[in-house]
Chains A and B, each alone.
Chain A
Amino acid sequence: QSVLTQPPSVSAAPGQKVTLSCSGSTSTIGENYVSWYHQLPGAAPKLLIYDNEKRPSGINSRFSGSKSGTSATLAITGLQTGDEGDYYCGTWDSSLRAVVFGGGTRLTVL
């Protein structure tokens, strides 16, 4: 069971907007930065968002991150079939003194 909670699956139509949630606690999301990763089948994860809301160079502005209290959200607008795959949130757990990840959300673009 993961320290961070993510819904197992989400689906939406091409062109639509989807939001993926990541729920934690005071010692995780509540007092640390959140990052988001996208993993295509058979590939390594790729960083999408760091420091809650910043995008690395080359990441499309369709991806945006936010944080409020002990939860974080990844929003994807203008959905494309290439956005399908698994999305993971990650952060530091100040109590465990460890990096922790969510269980992942599988996004299907119908």
Chain B
Amino acid sequence: QITLKESGLTLVRPTQTLTLTCTCSGFSLTTTPVAVGWVRQPPGKALEWLGLIYWNDEKNYGPSLSNRLTLTRDTSKNQVVLVMTNMDPVDTGTYYCVKARGNFNGDAFDKWGQGTLVTVSS
């Protein structure tokens, strides 16, 4: 059974850095083809893709956040880490860890974590 679970501090002050960890089980991050990444959703709004890290450690970032976002992975723990700098209240929302089928760019997200609500406030 494939599961994804998000963890990390969920209250962040403006200008601070957000760090979230996605712990994956039921599959390996190095399986071909697999990609794991993040999608966020501001309260009452639509989904926004943030980025993906692929089985070969290649990364793809959304253009609007590429200068603030870094994805890394720890294959020994089967975890993907999101680091987003210079947080702002507009970054408030639910952050979902997602697994993509990974066959090509834009392949569907077939598994989602439960999501974690991140609040940016002073």
Contacts and interface: CB of A to CB of B under 8 A. Distances in A.
B114 interface: yes
Chain B interface, DSSP helix/strand/loop, else mixed: loop
Given A97-B63, A101-B47, A44 B101 contact: no
Contacts, number: 66
Chain A interface, DSSP helix/strand/loop, else mixed: strand
B109 A35 contact: yes
20 contacts: A32-B105, A32-B106, A33-B104, A44-B115, A47-B109, A47-B110, A47-B111, A88-B47, A90-B47, A90-B49, A90-B109, A92-B105, A92-B106, A97-B60, A97-B63, A97-B105, A98-B49, A98-B62, A99-B105, A104-B46
Interface of B: 39, 46-49, 52, 60, 62-63, 96, 101, 104-115
